[in-house]
Structure 1
Amino acid sequence: MSELAQLRRAAGYTQETFVTVFAREAARLGVSASISVRQVRRWERESPPPLPHPVQQAVLEAVFGMPLAEMGFEVPLYRMTVASPIGDAEGVKRRTFVADAGLLAGAALVGTRAGPRMGAADVARVRAALDDLYRTDHTSGSMPAMARADAIEGEITTALGTASYTSRVGRDLQTILAELHGHRAWYGYDGGRIGRGRTACMEALSAAQLVDDPLLQVSVLETLVLLAIKSQRTWEAASAVEHAYRLAGRAGAGHTVHLVISLREANVAIHTGNLSAARRALSRAVSHQGRADTDPDVPQWARFAGPFEIDYATANLYVRAGQPKHAVPFLHAAVRGIDRDLARNSASYRVRLACVLLAAGEVDEACEEMRAVLDTYGGIASPRLSGRIRQFARAVARVDTAGARECGERIRENDLGDVT
């Protein structure tokens, strides 16, 4: 079996899917290059295989993270891939390199480490594992997601420190690492480990700055706002909002990103009791939501935002104003509108509704909502959600009705009823 065929199979591609992967990587690199299944068969069957065109070479090297010479091709000296001094304009323009032949043989794009190769296929696999953290967090909670995050971080840092890879692959891995630290920041918030969350935020911001990704920085800042509020650092939360607005403006971010920032601005204002500022922020959020369908692309971290988030924030505004009865219809709308795939947030919203109903004097309805949460709560490991249920248990214990006593007992049966 040819070296190229071994590489392809090790990456998990058939000849047909490899053609698709090649086209996707070419588009990502911004080059006009394509291959056919017939071309792949020729490369894998003939010895030596026909030499790819220069643009095809660039794509192949990006996909597999190694020079063309190590894929079984006989590559002329002038087509060997090594770094070229950027000051050598003529050398860059010609894409040719002048150096000692012994130095060029088998040289990698980045370093000559003895570790494994990392290519675009490996990046795609790690990216898929990172994306799966969203699903784990939303369906099972932050605790199991944190355990998976540990394994992913170990793989990324090991690869960055020991593997050989192209500069593009290296940047992609660092970007994923920055996003992973952002996840950890959220897990710190959800798990009540505010100090750990803040530390993860700082690591995520530094990593996002190193890869020069302003929208990734915005995603971290929106979590920092929540952490700063929890740690009573409202000045930090307000500064994070302002910086997020600046970064979003420079990056030309769409309405959905601005919607998220507006919601965080409302969080700060509600926390400080500045209800006029909160109403202005929510008005901006409504405006951005109304135009969000014009966004050509929405970052994954911002896709949770929608009308239900605005309804939820508006309810919090009324609660802060001491008007829980006015908050109830907005919470009902938020519970109805939230995506059912967001199981953790859906349960959290219903617990919040139960707490506000109880504060509004609607004891029976509040207990009904809480029973609905307990019926579906099962596999969600979220300390923040558990804490909210315990908060409801303490409040309902002060109500002397049969329904309230039964609800409190049901919570205790779920080991969530510490009312001391």
Structure 2
Amino acid sequence: MTEQESGGLARLRRAADHTQETFVKAFRQESARLGVAAAVSVRQLRRWESETPPPLPHPGQQAVLEAIFGIPLAEMGFDVPGHRVTVAAPISDAGEVKRRTFVADAGALAAAAPLPAAPGPRIGTADLGRLRERLDGLYQTDHTAGSVPASTQAERIESEITRALSSASYTSGVGRELQTMLAELHGHRAWYGYDGGRIVEGRAACMEGLAAAQLVDNPLLQVSVLETLVLLAVKAGRSWEAASAVENAYRLATQAGAGATVLLVIALRDANVATHAGDLSGARRALSRAVSYQRRADGDTDMPNWAKFVGPFEVDYATADMYVRADQPKRAVPFLRAAVRGIGGGLARNSASYRVKLADVLLAAGEVDEACAEVGGVLDTWGGIASPRLLGKVHDFQRAAGVVDSPTARECVARIRETV
């Protein structure tokens, strides 16, 4: 503690996990919530914290300070004249006290403000770093090994975070980050629900994720949940919900000043909705926007983890999906081949899914040998990926190939049966 920050207000500010700069921002936000015309600068805050006695805040500033800390101005170290002293008393008291009152003992409020009521282990920034590393690792697990092992890891992390929020001690900043991580975990669980065919569970996780992201005021986190909700809503046949999710995702991304990569993800979900609704003109418009965003994506310097999977191969895949929906499999083939070539080895689950999709389209186009070769490539690495959605796609191909009168098809079906 420095000599210049030795007053009661400085101690309260630090206990609430604020620097002088972040406190000024919090003061401005609280002033807006209260509808009070009051502001403070870093320079004025320094005077309040360092001078003895500190300069008296004007009435508007007093209202904001008391709202932030939950204690009367006099208990912050200010010399307050009698006509501006606020006291702790029941708000329904019919006595002579007419000034603003507090509902609890001011000293107790000051001591408890930055920490949860329940005692427990202290959670600090180092603990957050370890949790963040494990949380970010879920993407890698899901992309390389599938949603089944990723879901198991996510359950452990979620249990630790909820336990910490319920019983540990932490500053307000750490608590906010823990809640942000919990919102992200809900988003992960939503995806695992989609990948596992558990649509009801996935939608429930989306609702939890949206609520949690709103509570921490993180619009891009809301967008990440909404883009998964689009997939779940399409799968559930709720086209109106999927379209609404896309619209809200665009709105939130625009408000947050999101980069081209985030907008690219939304445009692809927009194309997905239009394709499944049979609106091929709408799908082409959404894909045109996606191409435009993709051209600008290289300029993104800071993008959220959930958007890093996207690339030109996703645009190619979505274009192929549109042609499949239009019953033009031969036109879809070159786009799927490009998607398979472009996806790279880091996204093993999606790469396998793309190859099975290409095999489906090749089979529909009469290219039986090439279709079976693609599925064979997937089966070569089958043991390393646990994804119910991918498993379902392979079984769909097995059924389709089972009615083809071809030695290659029969051999492929037999190998699927043995491997899967």
TM-score class normalised by the smaller sequence:
0.7 to 0.9
Find the partner of 1:231 among 227, 236, 249: 236
Q: Indicate the residue corresponding to 1:195 in structure 2.
A: 200
Q: Indicate the residue corresponding to 1:11 in structure 2.
A: none
Find the partner of 2:64 among 67, 74, 87: 87
Pair 1:97-2:76 in alignment: yes
Between the aligned partners of 1:319 and 1:394, the Cα distance in structure 2 is: 18
Pair 1:218-2:232 in alignment: no
Query: Under a length normalisation based on structure 2, what TM-score does the superposition of the two structures give?
Result: 0.77
Pair 1:272-2:249 in alignment: no
1:296 is paired with a residue of what secondary structure? coil
Change in Cα spacing, 1:98 to 1:216, as seen in structure 2 (3 Å) is: same
Per-residue deviation, 1:101 = 12
May I ask how many residue pairs the two structures share in their alignment? 346
Residues 189 and 205 in structure 2, CA contact (< 8 A), matched pair in contact too: yes
Change in Cα spacing, 1:238 to 1:90, as seen in structure 2 (3 Å) is: closer
Between the aligned partners of 2:16 and 2:214, the Cα distance in structure 1 is: 27
Identity of aligned residues (%): 65
Change in Cα spacing, 1:106 to 1:280, as seen in structure 2 (3 Å) is: closer
Per-residue deviation, 1:108 = 7.2
Amino acid at match of 1:87: V
Deviation string 1:214-245 (CA, Å, 9 cap, x unpaired) is 11000000000000000000000001001111
Q: Indicate the residue corresponding to 1:386 in structure 2.
A: 391
Pair 1:175-2:180 in alignment: yes
Deviation string 1:338-366 (CA, Å, 9 cap, x unpaired) is 13111100111111111111011000000
Deviation string 1:62-114 (CA, Å, 9 cap, x unpaired) is 69xxxxxxxxxxxxxx99xxxx997237998x9x9349998699867223531
Indicate the larger mover: 104-113 or 122-131: 104-113
Between the aligned partners of 1:287 and 1:311, the Cα distance in structure 2 is: 13
Between the aligned partners of 1:90 and 1:201, the Cα distance in structure 2 is: 33
Q: Indicate the residue corresponding to 2:26 in structure 1.
A: none
Q: Which runs of 5+ in 1 are unaligned?
A: 1-49, 64-77, 416-420
Between the aligned partners of 1:212 and 1:91, the Cα distance in structure 2 is: 18
Query: Under a length normalisation based on structure 1, what TM-score does the superposition of the two structures give?
Result: 0.77
Per-residue deviation, 1:118 = 0.9
TM alignment of 1:399-414, pairs within 5 A: 399-414=404-419
Per-residue deviation, 1:400 = 1.1
Residues 174 and 211 in structure 1, CA contact (< 8 A), matched pair in contact too: yes
Amino acid at match of 1:139: T
Residues 307 and 337 in structure 1, CA contact (< 8 A), matched pair in contact too: yes
Q: Indicate the residue corresponding to 2:95 in structure 1.
A: none
Deviation string 1:196-217 (CA, Å, 9 cap, x unpaired) is 0000000000000000111100
Change in Cα spacing, 1:86 to 1:217, as seen in structure 2 (3 Å) is: farther
1:378 is paired with a residue of what secondary structure? helix
2:405 is paired with a residue of what secondary structure? coil
Amino acid at match of 1:212: D
Change in Cα spacing, 1:59 to 1:141, as seen in structure 2 (3 Å) is: farther
Q: Which runs of 5+ in 2 are unaligned?
A: 19-48, 51-60, 79-104
TM alignment of 1:91-130, pairs within 5 A: 97-98=76-77, 109-130=114-135
Residues 108 and 165 in structure 1, CA contact (< 8 A), matched pair in contact too: no
Indicate the larger mover: 204-213 or 294-303: 294-303
Amino acid at match of 1:289: Q
Amino acid at match of 1:181: H
Deviation string 1:353-406 (CA, Å, 9 cap, x unpaired) is 111110110000000011010001212110000000000000111111111111
Change in Cα spacing, 1:382 to 1:53, as seen in structure 2 (3 Å) is: farther
Change in Cα spacing, 1:128 to 1:288, as seen in structure 2 (3 Å) is: same
Amino acid at match of 1:88: L
Q: Indicate the residue corresponding to 2:382 in structure 1.
A: 377
Between the aligned partners of 1:181 and 1:298, the Cα distance in structure 2 is: 20
Q: Indicate the residue corresponding to 1:15 in structure 2.
A: none
Between the aligned partners of 1:300 and 1:281, the Cα distance in structure 2 is: 23
1:232 is paired with a residue of what secondary structure? coil
1:143 is paired with a residue of what secondary structure? helix
Change in Cα spacing, 1:349 to 1:59, as seen in structure 2 (3 Å) is: farther
Between the aligned partners of 1:104 and 1:322, the Cα distance in structure 2 is: 67
TM alignment of 1:3-402, pairs within 5 A: 87-88=64-65, 97-98=76-77, 109-402=114-407
Deviation string 1:31-80 (CA, Å, 9 cap, x unpaired) is xxxxxxxxxxxxxxxxxxx97985999899969xxxxxxxxxxxxxx99x
Residues 282 and 310 in structure 1, CA contact (< 8 A), matched pair in contact too: yes
RMSD over aligned CA atoms reads 2.9
Amino acid at match of 2:316: D
